[in-house]
């Protein structure tokens, strides 16, 4: 055995250590999540207003900051100043400069500051130092109670906002968002007329979409909603027709458009104006609710795209058509709510034989258009969001007055919504960016029980937050943001609390390229693209240029406008010398213009008959006598 071991070692010594199959180095997950970690944020409500600026914007991740810098470069970069190196210094603090004494060099540790040692040498300090003035000792019971309260607050409001990724692709603000119940696919719609589909399971490190759709050309995407089975999704645009797509983005059908010349909306088969919102039924996979600018809500059956099942006309204070700006289903599917353009909220209970008369009517609920409505799962509360910059909490058992009004929430987009946390202890909404405002787009979290602000999370310094969602299975917060030139979907998560979703695509290492990835693009020659088969280029402009050139176009000469002889003889001063001399000597007379042409010819008729010249004498002997008929009237009779 020893001999075999020695022989093996001797043979192995002839090969380098790199010989054989190598194991790929494993990158720890902490390094991936470190790149997406958000900076430690400071509560906005505790920061003075004069200190709020783009530099002090709370909790921006490195990936989000890099994305914002790429689409919006910093117009005023700050140069590095050597004198101000102490500001924002990272690492250990600098030591103060050592003062050299005149007598000699400093040896040993520096002396303690003045006043740290008692002046009296007889009194020596024994034991720990005295506590500062005003210090109050705390008992063990008080410490445990405070720790329990901190733990309760921490566990109660554990919001997964430590890390962040951005799903890019849109060129304008993202106005619609939908995440399927399983949390594997995300839909985002934008004002750039497109819908992008993201798949966390197949997403690469570039966080790009796998499919892009344009439901209706020239119409903004306003709402997206998954079916309960996640096999189909509803797409609502600014047009009057909503579309249904399957899970892979293939078109299933399009609802019919109504006749705009029919005055009564109940007699039309569909919407006649742009749709403002739409939502799939929470339980029934064939029922859909939509609201429109024509002033009606309609319930559709997916199996029949030709006509709707129910038409609901809201109650109005004055005759006319007032748009319905948003709609929502109750979580049990037994009622619907609509936000009306006059600021009222109307709720209908779905029951046999129900009509358009609302069961609950709240007039002047908001002073402006309502952009979002959301029911709680227990059917007790209703949340409403409006253009007037407020979020109101309503008790469905007593809708005369709201329970709480949260103000100073700017809103400039008609799709700004509200969302609940998975346990519905919190609810959240986004804010829009105002002019000359340093705070940017924020995501505000509120406690449902205490009805107070819990936290404000900064999403983007230059983009408004429109749609938001908190997925229950992934435990991740989605927020769409953007402006006129950029747009993206921000996914907030925590590696210790969240599952799958963003964690899967972030931790996925890029695939190594193989030989099969390098594909030579074939050269295809189209026969009709060759010169011999190609149509001649248009020469319209060249023909127009030739027509303007009198030489190339062979333009006919203009008629004579002055005296002349034999065509154009002597008409201009640039004629031949002979013509000029004849004209000046009087031999070239130009009297023909003053004479009658018929008389000028007939005065030579008698002379030609008496003394013929040229051809007439040659035929005088053989020419017969001309005989003319006197009249043809007798023959005609």
Report yes or no on whether pTM surpasses 0.75: no
Q: Name residues of the chain where pLDDT drops below 50.
A: 41-56, 75, 77-104, 114-124, 127, 134-140, 144, 150-155, 565-566
| Number of other residues whose CB lies within 10 A of the CB of residue 331 | 17
The two three-digit tokens of residue 275, written as one number: 């749709």
Reference 215, options 186, 237, 190, 187; nearest CA is 237
* The 452-460 sheet, strands edge to edge: 418-420, 426-430, 441-447, 452-460
Yes or no: say if 178 and 226 are a contact pair by the CB < 8 Å rule.
yes
Going from N- to C-terminal start, the domains of the chain cover 37-43+58-67+159-210+416-510, 240-407
pLDDT at 97: 45
Return the sign of the alpha-carbon dihedral for residues 361, 366, 368, 369: negative
What is the spatial distance between Cα 18 and Cα 405, in angstroms, rounded to a whole number? Answer: 69
Reference 194, options 154, 241, 249; nearest CA is 249
Return the sign of the alpha-carbon dihedral for residues 568, 572, 576, 580: positive
Apex 171 CA angle, 211 and 493, nearest 5: 70
What is the spatial distance between Cα 384 and Cα 543, in angstroms, rounded to a whole number? Answer: 68
Yes or no: say if 405 and 423 are a contact pair by the CB < 8 Å rule.
no
Yes or no: say if 188 and 480 are a contact pair by the CB < 8 Å rule.
yes
pLDDT at 111: 59
pLDDT at 320: 82
Residue whose token pair is 């030709």: 306
Place domain 240-407 in its CATH homologous superfamily: YVTN repeat-like/Quinoprotein amine dehydrogenase (2.130.10.10)
* Per-residue CA distances from 478 to 50, 119, 298, 558 (Å): 30, 65, 29, 82
pLDDT at 49: 38
Residue 521 phi, psi dihedral angles, 5° rounding: -75, 120
End-to-end CA distance of the chain: 153
Reference 255, options 243, 239, 238; nearest CA is 243
């Amino acid at each position: 055995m020893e001999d075999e071991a020695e022989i093996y070692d001797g043979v192995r010594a002839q090969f380098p250590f790199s010989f054989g199959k190598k194991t790929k180095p494993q990158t720890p997950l902490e390094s991936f999540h470190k790149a997406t970690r958000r900076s430690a944020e400071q509560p906005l409500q505790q920061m003075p207003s004069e200190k709020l600026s783009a530099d002090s914007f709370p909790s921006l991740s490195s990936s989000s900051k890099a994305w914002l810098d790429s689409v919006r470069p910093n117009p005023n970069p700050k140069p590095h100043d050597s004198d101000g190196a102490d500001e924002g210094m990272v690492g250990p603090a600098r030591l103060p400069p050592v003062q050299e004494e005149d007598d000699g060099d400093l040896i040993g540790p520096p002396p303690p500051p003045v006043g740290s040692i008692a002046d009296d040498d007889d009194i020596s300090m024994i034991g720990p130092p005295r506590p500062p003035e005003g210090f109050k000792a705390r008992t063990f019971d008080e410490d445990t109670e405070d720790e329990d309260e901190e733990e309760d607050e921490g566990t109660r409001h554990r919001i997964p906002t430590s890390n962040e990724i951005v799903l890019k692709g849109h060129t304008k603000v993202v106005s619609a968002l939908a995440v399927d119940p399983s949390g594997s696919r995300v839909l985002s719609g934008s004002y750039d007329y497109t819908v992008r589909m993201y798949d966390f399971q197949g997403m690469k490190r570039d966080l790009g979409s796998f499919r892009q759709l344009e439901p209706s050309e020239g119409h903004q995407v306003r709402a997206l909603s998954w079916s309960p089975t996640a096999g189909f999704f509803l797409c609502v645009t600014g047009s009057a027709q909503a579309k249904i797509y399957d899970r892979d983005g293939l078109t299933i059908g399009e609802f019919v458009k109504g006749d705009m010349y029919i005055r009564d909306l109940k007699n039309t088969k569909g919407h006649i104006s742009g749709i403002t919102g739409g939502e799939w039924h929470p339980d029934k996979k064939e029922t859909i609710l939509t609201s429109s600018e024509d002033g009606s809500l309609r319930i559709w059956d997916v199996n029949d795209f030709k006509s709707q099942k129910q038409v609901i006309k809201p109650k109005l204070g004055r005759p006319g058509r007032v748009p319905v700006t948003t709609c929502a289903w109750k979580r049990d599917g037994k009622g619907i709510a609509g936000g009306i353009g006059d600021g009222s909220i109307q709720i209908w209970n779905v029951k046999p034989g129900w009509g358009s008369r609302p069961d609950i009517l709240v007039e002047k609920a908001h002073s402006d258009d309502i952009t979002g409505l959301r029911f709680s799962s227990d059917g007790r509360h209703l949340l409403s969001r409006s253009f007037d910059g407020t979020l109101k909490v309503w008790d469905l058992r007593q809708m005369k007055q709201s329970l709480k009004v949260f103000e100073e929430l700017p809103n400039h987009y008609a799709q700004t919504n509200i969302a609940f946390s998975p346990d519905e202890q919190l609810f959240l909404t986004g804010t829009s960016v105002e002019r000359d405002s340093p705070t940017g787009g924020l995501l505000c979290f509120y406690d449902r029980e205490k009805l107070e602000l819990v936290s404000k999370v900064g999403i983007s310094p230059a983009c408004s937050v429109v749609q938001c969602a908190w997925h229950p299975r992934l435990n991740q917060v989605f927020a769409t943001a953007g402006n006129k030139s950029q747009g993206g979907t921000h996914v907030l998560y925590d590696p210790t609390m969240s599952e799958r979703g963003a964690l899967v695509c972030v931790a996925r290492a890029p695939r190594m390229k193989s030989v099969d990835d390098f594909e030579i693009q074939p050269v295809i020659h189209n026969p009709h693209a060759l010169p011999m088969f190609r149509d001649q280029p248009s020469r319209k402009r060249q023909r127009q240029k030739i027509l303007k050139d009198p030489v190339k176009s062979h333009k006919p000469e203009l008629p004579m406008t002055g005296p002349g002889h034999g065509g154009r003889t002597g008409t201009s001063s640039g004629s031949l010398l002979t013509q000029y001399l004849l004209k000046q000597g009087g031999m070239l007379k130009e009297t023909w213009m003053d004479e009658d042409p018929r008389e000028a010819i007939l005065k030579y008729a008698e002379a030609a008959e008496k003394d013929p010249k040229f051809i007439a004498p040659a035929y005088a002997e053989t020419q017969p006598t001309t005989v003319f008929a006197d009249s043809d009237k007798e023959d005609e009779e």
